Amino acid sequence: MKENTETPVSFLANVARLPQKGLPVRIEADTKQRAELAKQHGLVSVGRYRAELLVTSWKRHGVKVSGTVEADIVQECVVTLEPIESSISAEVSGLFLPEDSKLGREGFHAGGEILLDADGPDAPETFSGETIDVGALAEEFFELAIDPYPRKQGADIETIEDEDRSDSPFARLAALKKPQ
């Protein structure tokens, strides 16, 4: 998770005393927050953004965050630059340990051998204090769900080049070229 960065959808969950059934968190972004999300993630607009999360105890002093993030977004097509509407629905999950936790200290700093499964869950992150920004975690999963190269259906470079070839600056220059 990004350190010390306030996001438009920040929500600090107090994890010092979690209820036995967990702490449900619902984040619905207002107009200003959605505009800031669009700006930060290079989108034309964000029409709807909602995160439904459950913050529960994990192991002895750890915290588990799980849930979903959903959004309706508008992006520019990478070929035609026309707006493309799409919906995002992503699973959110994260494990957190206090900085002073024995499990946290023995992680990557123990000097031993660590086996990582690329398809397995991420290693727990550490936190300090009594709060975790679960809104920032949800925004990370939102960002990962955004198509980095959105393409309008049927749009490809060849069709765009064929359509615009006669009107291109190079076509006009070629017309000016005198036959020898």
Q: What is the pLDDT of residue 59?
A: 84
Taking only the tens place, the pLDDT of each residue in 34-47 is 999 999 999 999 99
Triad 62, 54, 63: Cα angle to 5°: 5
Q: How far apart are CA 173 and CA 40, in angstroms?
A: 40
DSSP state letters, 30-51:
-HHHHHHHHHHTT-SEEEEEEE
Give the bridge partners for 91, in sequence order: 68
pLDDT in tens, 102-117: 665 555 555 555 566 6
Q: Does residue 72 register a pLDDT over 60?
A: yes
What is the average pLDDT value for the chain, to the nearest integer? 83
**How far is the C-alpha of 17 from the C-alpha of 98, rounded, in Å?**
14
Under the banding of pLDDT at 50, 70 and 90, the label for residue 119 is: confident
